[in-house]
Amino acid sequence: MELKFSPADEEFRQEVRAFFAEHLTDELRQAGRLQTSVYSDHEASMAWQAILHEKGWAAPAWPVKYGGQQWTVAQHYIFSVESILADAPALSPMGIRMVAHAIMRFGTEEQKDFFLPRILTGEVFFCQGYSEPESGSDLASLQMSAKADGDDLVLNGSKIWTTHATEANWMFALVRTTNGPRKQQGITFILIDFTSSGIEVRPLVMSSGEEVQNVVFFDNVRVPKANVLGDIDDGWTVAKYLLEFERGGGAYSPFLQVGLARLMHAAASVPAPSGSGTLADDPAFADKVADLAMRFDVLEVLEYRVLDVVASGGNPGASSSMLKILGTELSQELTTLALEAAGPRGRAYQPHATAPGGPIVDYTPPADGYCGGEPWQAVAPLRYFNDRAGSIYAGSNEVQRNILAKAALGL
């Protein structure tokens, strides 16, 4: 594999940098730099998506006919790295990176014509309705019912851990239409208009204090059968396809590598535990950094391969499980190291000095905005708490290892 960037790639890098320099405001950069999880402040994220859409860069990995870019693997990677270096806010993955690919693969022409352009503009903003109170990692056990009534399905039940349900105006969800001999049978993938009568959203307060996730209740909610993606009772096929993009359709390594470099820069101003020199010079800390750096490089090469497949219009397949395991577990190690580097100042709860992905409840910031330490030290504990969910969401890493055992090793 050729890992050296060509002159054309370097020219593209300069184009990206120039665009970011012109269009990324200080407010947008702050939202990206101080975000406390994979989700940026919602308003900043949508503002940045609108700017990217005008340029044609909101969804570069999509096929060109739907609004994507005919970029090389190197260009996709360069764009990811430069976005992080420039502190660009993250875009919500629910529409662009996830359900859009399922709509392209399984949707009718009417569904494609309606949803895809509106996902790009942000007019349609999706949340995901998968997990239920009794169906998490064992997603196929879901029980939210959808009973046929004429041209509609009538939904009753609930979904939980629904990110940005308070901001979304549509949900893509899995519902139970029939009960078959196998629990994967009788599941239907459906697109739900959140203005429908009978939907109630209740925010959940996370360990970080943020209200990003929610529980959503459905009481006789009528959804047209025309909103089914794929076939009724065959939603598991659609869900498996979509999950490949959720788990491996993006790239972890640019975020991790840039984050590690910034952590080392910050550690150069933190006193070492021994009291002599800085933390960056501490041998034990340096060993941890070196170990992570090598593993990030391995992840980068694996992501090149998968990004090549996605950019060519394919799906990641079982490789997505490998990337999901490595990406989330390495991210957890990085946030653990950042919390260690933050030291005593990282133990203080100071969300006012960050740009969280949702409202902070039951917290009164100091009137003068005082922050003990540097902003990164205030961000470190919130990112640490949020990142604990990484090895659970999109299918727990234990489930991913079972998938790899079956698909890659034939066990």
What is the 3-state secondary structure of 188-200? EEEEEECCCCCEE
3-state secondary structure of 157: strand
Q: Domains plus CATH for the chain?
A: 7-91 (no CATH), 126-237 (2.40.110.10), 250-407 (1.20.140.10)
Q: What local confidence, expressed as pLDDT, does residue 171 receive?
A: 98
- Alpha-carbon distance values, 138 to 134, 184, 286, 316 (Å): 9, 10, 40, 22
Q: What local confidence, expressed as pLDDT, does residue 269 receive?
A: 87
Q: What local confidence, expressed as pLDDT, does residue 402 receive?
A: 85
Could you tell me the two tokens for 299? 């992840």
Residues near 400 by beta carbon (within 8 Å), at least 6 away in sequence: 247, 321, 322, 324, 325
Distance in angstroms (rounded) separating the CA atoms of residues 161 and 92: 15
Q: What local confidence, expressed as pLDDT, does residue 3 receive?
A: 56
Q: What local confidence, expressed as pLDDT, does residue 22 receive?
A: 97
Q: What local confidence, expressed as pLDDT, does residue 245 receive?
A: 63
* Cβ-count burial 211-234 (b if 16+ within 10 Å, e if not): bbbbbbebeebebeeebbbbebeb
Q: What local confidence, expressed as pLDDT, does residue 250 receive?
A: 56
CA 11 to chain centroid: 29
State which H helix or E strand residue 212 sits in: none
Compute the C-alpha angle 243/68/34, nearest 5°: 70
The structure's pTM equals 0.85
Which mean pLDDT values do the consecutive 10-residue runs of the chain (411 residues) have? 76 97 96 90 96 96 93 87 93 92 96 97 96 84 95 97 94 94 92 97 89 95 97 93 62 85 90 83 92 91 74 68 88 93 89 89 90 90 87 79 81 75
Could you tell me the two tokens for 354? 């960050």
Q: What local confidence, expressed as pLDDT, does residue 1 receive?
A: 44
Closest CA to 349 of 366, 368, 335: 366
Under a CB-based contact definition with an 8 Å cutoff, are residues 330 and 358 in contact? Answer: no
363 secondary structure, DSSP code: -
